Chain A
Amino acid sequence: LSVPPEIPKEDGRPKWDNKLQYILSCIGFAVGLGNVWRFPYLCQIHGGGAFLIPYFIALLFEGIPLLHLELALGQCLRKGSIGAWNTISPYLGGVGLGSWMVSVLVSLYYNTVLTWVMWYFINSFQEPLPWSVCPLNENRTGLNEECYESTAVNYFWYRKTLNITPDVTESGTLQWWLILCLATCWAIVYLCTIRGIETTGKAIYITAIFPYLVLTIFLIHGLTLPGATDGLAYLFTPNLSTLKNPRVWLDAATQIFFSLSLAFGGLIAFSSYNPPKNDCEKDAVTVALVNSMTSLYASIPVFSVLGFKATTGYWDCLDRNIISIINEFDLPEESIMRQNYTAWISLLNSSYPEKIAGLKLKSCDLQEFLDQSVSGTGLAFIIFTQAIILMPGSQAWAILFFIMLFSLGLSSMFGNIEGVFTPLLELQIISKSIPKELLSGIICLSCFLIALCFTLASGSYWIDIFDSYAGSLPLLVIAFFEVIGVAYVYKIKRFSKDVKWMTGRKPNFYWQITWRFISPLLLLIVFVAFVTLQIQKPPSYAAWNPKYEGFPMKEERVYPPWVLAICVLLALLPCVFVPLVALFHLIKQMRRSKDPSFVPPEVFSCQGANS
């Protein structure tokens, strides 16, 4: 006897196996690489513990309301971003299209960052680690010059991984090892998203939980390293005077906004697979709080390791000076230790000042080493890898670290791909003729082919461009229109009724105030401040040029006009859909209103769609 397979819900829409998958998917989407390599950096440069004040204020007035809005929207309308906004109002269809466009652009370059992580991961299985030693030059008389002048870690990143050109206009060739890793990364993404949430729902258990395990291991290990307490003290010591700088508030607002992955359409897609009667208010608060707590939790091991690295650098500086002094004065070994170094220096300076001056000793200052703050790929691939070399058992630490980064990025990729996949599935022409596996295959294959241009020698400059222009400004615009659209086009009264039907209670005063006034105002201020800061100086980038006089410092270069045009295009492309679609429908409406048989479409309501 054959039993027919389990029939999905009446509308044929797939659903989550259980609530945990949904929550983990949202958390995995929100918690990404930025929690590890951007938040600790911002904490550090903006006065340590004091940064938490603007951060939590932004969370309360911008992050949580917008998150609740998106989750409630998706759950009520049960459609991806394009369909959802078309349902709210045809004039707002451009918002959904803009979200979809941003998801596409971000998916392209985000997976290339994962490619770099994968490359480092597969290189971590060697002894010694390839980024710990400089290779020899051609005639074997010394070390490779580029490596010798910078460090082995820098050399491995800029030359062996990226093979970077000194200028964004010089494209160089495709790097075959990066193409292999890129293909692998897209294959992994395809494997996990092959049937939409049916497969990502299973994969998310691993990719969302594993990073927390590794962070805990690093936390425990990091706290035992020498110098960890210096790093942590440096990170968390509050300096309240930085709060007077408006830049701090702007950074807090943008960090919360981008960290929660709002306006991508991925959150709407995730919540659209929920049963309609689900408490989205609790979900939103949970996801936002977990995201922020993860940022804080991740900054502890990051700063322990950075403190360890600074202390080791400081000790190395002292040791080198001590060796020079011992060799010059022929003193017995271990006569000058780090503790009595200053005493000895003052003694020798008074008796033999010319000899000491002749040694050209570097001044060693722990504060200076701690001040070297980096964020982004520099933190992971240069600073952290250097710290890992100094730990015993470096292969294991390197492998763990890069698997953690990969899981963090992969769970964010699921959200990005879902933001692309779900709206396409809902287009009638596609869902009838193409099976899901083929559609996801087509998406992954085309993204892989387009992303090949990021594996060129100048690829990392292009990724910076995409990150700064496609992954920042359009999101602010789309989120602003999202809030305005729900608050003033759909009307908050209607939305509150829908939320009440879904969660069982009316959204309280806090939600009303933030949705109506505070969040749109805040978004507007952030947008204006962001644009003002961008146009104040001509956009420039830091190029790695071995022939530069100041090498190993990076060379500041200005983007040529055609690159600037691409930057502007990237920023405008998603945003332009909003007015275009509104205009299109306005023209259609004006033509239709002349037709006497025209009947206006009925007013949409959450309950009506789902009862």
Chain B
Amino acid sequence: MLRVLLLTLPVVAIAYAELCKPDAQNAFKVRLSIKTALGDNAYAWDANEEYLFKAMVAFAMRRYSGKSTTQTSNVLLCNVTDRVSFWFVVTDSSKNVTTVPGSEVEAAIRMNRNRINSAFLLSDKTLQFLKITSTLSPPVEPSTPVWLIVFGVVLCLIVAGIVFLVVVGIQQRKKKNKESTERENLEEKGEATATVENGIPCETLDLKAGHINGVFAADDERFTSL
């Protein structure tokens, strides 16, 4: 029994090695740019990270197909380089030594791309599956364009300013008109020139807001008329 096992193991290993090769059928190349994404917080790519990767792919396959048959041992990695790039295939657990079709793997990865990215603290750009394109997220559009709001604010301020200036101008003109008509009326009453005291015509003092001092007014009668 043990001898059979010992004989089949290398056969299986060789067979599996055949499955995971660069440009093999249903194999995908992955490229990670950890230092670009994380800078000083970059982690080193070691066997543990590889194990996590296998687990994430298995998780993706499980979620996609709904069956719970894919194991981490089904995901084969090979040709790991210093760049941190490698190839992987997913073997079919039910059939011996065959790989899951590339379209299925692609669909599974696409469906769970976000989860895979976050497990490695990377993004679509820094964790690249070279044959799998990512769907672009549409830009966020607010319901009212922002510029319309700003424009509304600016326009309201300007219109308020114009209305204010026009109203002030009309008021000033009415005051000027009133005074010029008063001066004309006074001139019509007989005086050729209006005497001015301190910039104020004497007649207006008399007519508008001057107070008649009763003492002096009464004294007028004491003088003999000429």
Contacts and interface: CB of A to CB of B under 8 A. Distances in A.
Interface of A: 1-5, 119, 122-123, 125-126, 133, 135-136, 140-143, 180-181, 184, 187-188, 190-191, 194-195, 199, 326-327, 330-334, 435-437
A140 B138 contact: yes
A1 B209 contact: yes
Contact of B151 (A4, A141, A180, A334): A180
A53 B155 CA distance: 46
Contact of A187 (B31, B147, B158): B158
Contacts of B83: 326-327, 330-333
B146 interface: yes
B34 A333 contact: yes
Given A136-B136, A140-B138, A333-B83, A191 B162 contact: yes
Contacts of B154: 122, 184
Interface in B135-185: 135-136, 138-139, 146-147, 150-151, 154-155, 158-159, 161-162, 165-166, 169, 172-173, 175-176, 179
B34 to A, nearest CB: 7
B118 interface: no
A42 B186 CA distance: 68
A3 B200 contact: yes
Contacts of B176: 5
Contacts of A327: 31, 83, 85
Given A141-B136, A184-B154, A327-B83, 5 more contacts: A136-B139, A140-B138, A143-B136, A334-B35, A437-B165
Contact of B139 (A122, A125, A135, A180): A135
17 contacts: A1-B209, A2-B179, A2-B208, A5-B172, A122-B150, A122-B154, A126-B146, A133-B139, A140-B136, A184-B154, A184-B158, A194-B165, A195-B165, A199-B165, A327-B31, A327-B85, A332-B84
B194 to A, nearest CB: 11
B122 to A, nearest CB: 13
Cβ-closest 8 pairs across A and B? A330-B81, A332-B82, A330-B83, A122-B150, A333-B35, A122-B147, A187-B158, A126-B146
B177 to A, nearest CB: 11
B36 A125 contact: no
B107 to A, nearest CB: 17
Contacts of B85: 327, 330
Nearest to B209: A1
Contacts of A333: 33-36, 83-84
Contacts, number: 86
Interface of B: 31, 33-36, 81-85, 135-136, 138-139, 146-147, 150-151, 154-155, 158-159, 161-162, 165-166, 169, 172-173, 175-176, 179, 199-200, 204-205, 208-209
Contacts of A142: 136
A123 B136 contact: no
Given A4-B179, A125-B146, A332-B83, A191 B209 contact: no
A187 B34 CA distance: 54
Main SS at interface, chain B:
helix
A122 B199 contact: no
Nearest to B138: A136
A184 B165 contact: no
A135 B35 CA distance: 29
B173 A435 contact: yes
A330 to B, nearest CB: 4
Given A194-B166, A333-B35, A437-B169, A184 B139 contact: no
Contacts of A191: 158, 161-162, 165
A7 to B, nearest CB: 9
Nearest to B205: A1
A232 B97 CA distance: 66
Contact of A125 (B150, B175, B199): B150
Contacts of A122: 147, 150-151, 154
A437 B108 CA distance: 71
B39 to A, nearest CB: 10
B162 A1 contact: no
Please indicate which of the listed interface residues B83, B139, B209 has the most CB atoms of chain A within 10 Å of its own CB: B83
Contacts of B146: 123, 125-126
A195 B199 contact: no
A123 B148 CA distance: 9
A195 B168 CA distance: 11
Contacts of B165: 191, 194-195, 199, 437
Nearest to A119: B147
A530 B132 CA distance: 60
Contacts of B208: 1-2
B164 to A, nearest CB: 9
Contacts of B199: 3-4
Nearest to B196: A4
B155 A187 contact: yes
Please indicate which of the listed interface residues A3, A122, A133 has the most CB atoms of chain B within 10 Å of its own CB: A122
A125 B147 contact: yes
Contacts of B175: 5
A181 B84 contact: no
A277 to B, nearest CB: 26
Contacts of A435: 169, 173
Please indicate which of the listed interface residues A1, A4, A142, A332 has the most CB atoms of chain B within 10 Å of its own CB: A4
Contacts of B136: 136, 140-143
Please indicate which of the listed interface residues B35, B147, B151, B172 has the most CB atoms of chain A within 10 Å of its own CB: B147
Contact of A188 (B158, B166, B172): B158
A342 to B, nearest CB: 21
A122 B155 CA distance: 11
A141 B134 CA distance: 9
A302 B33 CA distance: 36
B113 to A, nearest CB: 16
A299 B10 CA distance: 74
Contacts of A190: 162
Contacts of A123: 146-147
A414 to B, nearest CB: 15
A607 B160 CA distance: 45
Nearest to A123: B147
A181 B172 contact: no
Please indicate which of the listed interface residues A2, A141, A184 has the most CB atoms of chain B within 10 Å of its own CB: A2
A199 B161 CA distance: 12
Contacts of B84: 332-333
Contacts of B138: 136, 140
A115 B40 CA distance: 46
A136 B139 CA distance: 8
A181 B200 contact: no
B199 to A, nearest CB: 7
B162 A187 contact: yes
B139 A1 contact: no
A326 B84 CA distance: 11
B209 to A, nearest CB: 6
Contacts of B179: 2, 4
Contacts of B150: 122, 125
A119 B83 CA distance: 46
B87 to A, nearest CB: 12
Please indicate which of the listed interface residues B33, B35, B85, B162 has the most CB atoms of chain A within 10 Å of its own CB: B162
Contacts of A3: 199-200
A191 to B, nearest CB: 5
B123 to A, nearest CB: 15
Contacts of A143: 136
